[in-house]
Structures are given as C-alpha cells and as structure tokens.
Homo-oligomer: A and B are copies of this chain.
Amino acid sequence: MLPFARVTIIGLGLIGSSLARAIRAEMPTVAITGHDARADVCARVVHLGLCDDVTDTAGAAVIDADLVILCVPVGAMGEVAAGIRDDLPADAIVSDVGSSKASVFAALAEHLPGRRIVPAHPVAGTEYSGPDAGFATLFKGRWCILTPPADADSADVTRLSAFWERLGAQIEIMDARHHDLVLAVTSHLPHLIAYTIVGTASDLEAVTESEVIKYSAGGFRDFTRIAASDPTMWRDVFLANKDAVLEMLQRFTEDLTALQRAIRWGDGDTLFDRFARTRAVRRSIIEQGQDDERPDFGRSHA
C-alpha cells in the first residue's frame, strides 16, 4: 500500500533529484512530476529521465498531485507556495525539505491558508549541488524530522512518515522551534564556522593559498567539504534561523575564548580536560550509524 500515488517535486537540485531517484527505486509505480525554476535544470532532469513529467511552471506540476514537496532554498518557499496556490488540489499534502522549519511553515501557511501543510527536513546531503549530484540512497539511515503544526491531521503525518520510511529514513516528530535550535548546533553553526575558517585561510598575507592547499591534510581539508555547499541555500538558512544561530554562535564564541585564554596563559590542564571529553561524542555517532568508523573518513591512502 503506497502512501502516495502522485508526487510532485518542485526544485530538482541535489535533494529534489535524490528524492526522485529514491522514489523510483523504492516505489516504482509512483508517478513523479517535477519542476525547477531553471530551464537548464529541467532539461537535464528530462535527459536523466528522473521524472515521469517535467513541467514548465510550478502550477502545472501540482495539478493532480497528492503530495507536493518543495525542495528549494528556504528563502524561496513563500514565492513557490504562491505560485502553486491556484492549481493545488484541495486534498494534496504540501511538504518541504528545508533546513529551518518555523520560518518555512510561516511562509507556506501565509500563501496556502487552510491547506494541509506538514513541513519536513531530511537531515542528509553532500557538498555537491544540482540534479547530477543526487543519488537514490541519500536518505537511507538518516533522520527525517517532521514538524507538523499543532492542528495538523494526524493521518497526514502518518502518511508522510510512511513515505519517508519507504525511502530508508528514520522519522522523528518535533516542534518546529525545537528543530530550529537542534539544527542550529548540529548543522547551521558547523557550516558557518567552516565557511569562516576557509575564508580566513584564504585571506592571509604571510601564508599563501597554495600553502594552505598543500598542507590541508593537517585538518583544514575536513572543513572545506561543508564550506563547498550551495551558497544560496546557506544564505537563506542563516537569514531564516537567525535567533537560534546567533544563540549557538554566542555560546561557541564564549567556549573558544576560554580555550584562547588557556593557550595564552599556558594552562595545559584546561586544554587537556576539554580535549579529553570529545572522543566519546564521536564514538556515539559511529555507534548510532551516523558516521563511518574508518580512520580519516575512509580516505584512500594508496
């Protein structure tokens, strides 16, 4: 029993195209309709054969959908919602994959009043973008967080949960504000820091960019992966989840300042105590299947 028979994906980048591929792989009888604001992306998706139909407008894509998933940067959600309002079937569920949830729900609710909105966030991705970067197994073993509003129909939540479970995800239901706080620390702050240090390293006078690149295996290269993520997507995330990000950033800065002081004053005990606490976190992440235990991320050393 399929949770949905006709799924529409608006936005066919890394996540949207992975979704299309995963649906094809796991629920091959589902009809997939796609649309992207960029004509070249639509053409590429047609070429790759990822959807049964790719439409010229967002409205045309949703006409017979029973699930519509918006896979666009969070700052574009309101505009896309406005664009599908007149064509959206009354019983269709509208969801999304955005990294911030309170702001996305507000945008969707404003433009689609009275509609069945169940925001979602699959916590998965890579540093690559665009329809060629997607793959069918992206969501396997990852968490998908649903943040239904208080008055959501529980049957809708159950159907959307079943849909994501079919794609291999584990489901968590969460309040949107709590989601935004959790993701501020597990995703948004790490990206901001990674973007910052890669920028800092590029701007030095005494150390050349060529040196930064050559000796990046000392640790720096690990930061460059997430700092290679899509700039539009991340600009929107920081604007959309401002309060939670600023709160986490403040705490991070305080902690960094404490370590800076320990370095300045030669306080080795404080440094050791802080550094000795962090291994256990990584061990738990590996035990829970959220990362690989192979040394050095399993990079090739041959």
> Measuring CB to CB, which residues of chain A are less than 8 angstroms from any residue of chain B?
75, 99, 123-128, 133, 135, 137-138, 140-143, 145, 172, 178, 181-183, 185-204, 206-207, 209, 211-229, 231-232, 234-236, 238-239, 242, 245-246, 248-249, 251-253, 255-256, 259-260, 263-264, 266, 268, 271-272, 274-279, 281-285, 288, 290-292, 295-302
| Contact yes or no, A238 B186, CB < 8 A | no
Q: In the complex the two chains form, is B299's CB within 8 Å of A291's CB? A: yes
User: In the complex, how many angstroms separate the beta carbon of A191 from the nearest chain B beta carbon?
Assistant: 5
The smallest beta-carbon distance between A71 and chain B, in angstroms, is 16
**Using Cβ atoms and an 8 Å threshold, which residues of chain B touch A189?**
197, 200
Interface pair B211/A277, CB less than 8 Å apart: no
Which residue of chain B is the closest to A296 with respect to CB atoms? B126
Which B residues touch A276, using CB under 8 A?
A: 231
Known: A190-B218, A242-B264, A263-B242. A213 touches B285 (CB 8 A): yes
Q: List, in ascending order, chain B residues with CB within 8 A of A187's CB.
A: 215, 218-220
Closest to A254 in B: B200
Question: 13 more A-B contacts (CB under 8 A) besides A199-B277, A225-B291, A229-B275?
Answer: A172-B214, A183-B218, A185-B207, A196-B255, A198-B278, A202-B277, A224-B278, A231-B272, A232-B272, A235-B271, A242-B263, A249-B263, A292-B299
Q: What is the distance, in angstroms, from A76's C-beta to the closest C-beta of chain B?
A: 12
Closest chain B residue, CB of each to CB of A271: B235
Whose C-beta in chain B lies nearest to the C-beta of A269? B235
Give the one of A75, A222, A246, A251 with max B CB within 10 A. Answer: A222
CA distance A292 to B194 in the complex (A): 18
Say yes or no: B299 contacts A197, CB within 8 Å: no
Asked whether, in the complex, the Cβ of A138 is within 8 Å of the Cβ of B225, the reply is: no
The DSSP consensus for interface residues of chain A is helix
CB-CB nearest 3 A-B residue pairs: A187-B218, A231-B275, A126-B295
Known: A127-B295, A295-B127. A284 touches B213 (CB 8 A): yes
Complex alpha-carbon distance, A217 and B296, angstroms: 16
Do B301 and A298 have beta carbons less than 8 Å apart?
no
| Contacting pair B278 A195 (CB below 8 A) | yes
- Shortest C-beta distance, A125 to chain B (Å), equals 8
A291 to B285, CA, bound (A): 23
Question: Which chain B positions have C-beta within 8 A of A232?
Answer: 272
Q: In the bound complex, what is the Cα–Cα distance between A185 and B195 (angstroms)?
A: 14
Could you pull out 27 A-B pairs where Cβ atoms are within 8 angstroms? A75-B268, A172-B214, A185-B200, A185-B212, A186-B216, A190-B219, A192-B259, A193-B223, A194-B278, A198-B281, A199-B277, A200-B248, A200-B255, A201-B281, A202-B281, A209-B281, A213-B285, A219-B226, A221-B282, A222-B226, A228-B278, A231-B272, A236-B268, A239-B271, A253-B256, A292-B299, A297-B298
